[in-house]
Amino acid sequence: MKHFLYIFIVLSFHSLIAQTPQQSYFEWTQLPFSKEELAQRRANLISELTSENKNGIVLFPARDGFSYGETFRQLDNFYYFTGLELPNAILAIEVPSGKTTVFTPAMDMRFYSESRPNDFPGRPLLNDPEIVKQTGLTLNPIEDFAIYMNSIGNSSILIDNGRQGDVRLASDKYITTYTPVQILMLALKKKYPDVTFENCYEAIAKVRMVKSDAEIAIMRKAVNITVESIKEAAKSIQPGMDERYLEGVLEGHYKKLGAQRLAFGSIIKSGPNSLWPWRILATHYNRRNRVMKKGDLVIFDVGCEYNNYVSDIGRTFPVSGTFTSRQKEILEMEVGIANQIIAFLKPGITFKDIRNLTDSIIPVEAKKYMQVGLFFGHHLGLSTGDPDLPEAVLKPGMIFTVEPWYYNHDEQISVFTEDVILITETGCEVLSKDLVRAPGDLERLMKF
């Protein structure tokens, strides 16, 4: 008995001295922006909300940290205003006082496993002094969030509805997908039946639409990675090649150049597939691997994600290496429209102005094949659907796409060109300018 007890004590002591030390937050990551810039973002939001006469508590949930195999990516708003990848946390910003609190778990349970302590030693979050030092934020236990909610009285809860309009609560449908914000609202409504929610999307959009110099630098890198990767993939276009192979070349080059993720599922579509928007093509599990044929066009509508910021670029290539005269004619028309839109862009105009211009320059015979709502493009930043306001006046620092697409099911021809645009003090800059767009230049690109 003593012998076994001795072995147990020795093994236990060995386990203690061999234990992997706990990891700190900043051993694994770094703050993406200065704490001064992050504080300015929060101040900008408070200023916008105050100008709209909104008072209350802005709540931003973090993403659930449990992984099903995917790499963790923080929710956009939480990341934008804190720069932190904390899981299962809640950011609270009081308006108009500006008091800001992050309610966080004490430990990052993704780093802990009772059965495998050496591999999962744990990671403190709440009591990590470096998080507070580097961010200047106040951290409170997530368990205190209930106390906080009890203390705020009748304050409105301001949430990002995801779009303008009435707040959208979780639906009662049997099959649906809830957003993290809807899940938060559902939980709050159950615990605090009298709580009221107010949409603060417009204020968030006004803040996030204008990018800082630091954000622009990251987005330049994301655009450059995508440009160089499209150039690389274009060399492999030929009859007999399938769409998924081109995706592999493109996406492999993203990673070679440092991109962490895709901005969205790569859209590389050829022949009849090119005639359909992505939402239709993606309705089937096996639709996306057509073998390309001579005479086809193949469209790239693709983007990578670099340091959480995205790109989105489009080009049309001839599978045979040469456009037919009709394909060339349509592509030149579509690129010409894009050129005129880009030449028109400058601070002070509105998206309505862009739409009016576009409507006036599309040839009458092409209009039924070129349909759009707000304008031929969308804002970029932390996502390809970054917040935007249709009535917004263009300002320096805004980044969005220009993409006049053309789907002609009558002639079975579709072309697409998409560029990333930065509004400057005097006009605009095409961030994707290093990727050629004219038919002859695209043909030459495929040969190198």
Q: Decide if pLDDT at 331 tops 70.
A: yes
Map tokens 């796409």 to a residue.
Answer: 401
Four-way CATH pick for 13-207: 3.90.76.10, 3.40.350.10, 3.40.50.620, 3.30.70.980: 3.40.350.10
Q: What is the pLDDT of residue 10?
A: 41
pLDDT tens digits for 226-248?
Answer: 999 999 999 999 999 999 999 99
Q: What is the pLDDT of residue 49?
A: 97
Q: Decide if pLDDT at 13 tops 50.
A: no
> Of the given ranges (93-97, 120-124, 246-250), which has the lowest mean pLDDT?
120-124
Residue type, 406: Y
pLDDT bucket at 18, cuts 50 / 70 / 90: low
Q: What is the pLDDT of residue 4?
A: 43
Are 325 and 399 spatial neighbours (Cβ–Cβ below 8 Å)?
no
Name the pTM for this structure.
Answer: 0.93
Going by DSSP bridges, is the β-strand pair 419-423/413-415 parallel, antiparallel, or unpaired? unpaired
Q: Decide if pLDDT at 354 tops 90.
A: yes
HEC string of 120-157 equals: CECCECCCCHHHHHHHCCEEEEHHHHHHHHHHCCCCCE
> Domain map of the chain by residue range?
13-207, 210-446
210-446: in CATH 3.90.230.10: yes
One fold for 13-207 and 210-446: no
Q: How far is CA 97 from CA 38, 91, 92, 162, 386, in A?
A: 17, 15, 12, 24, 27
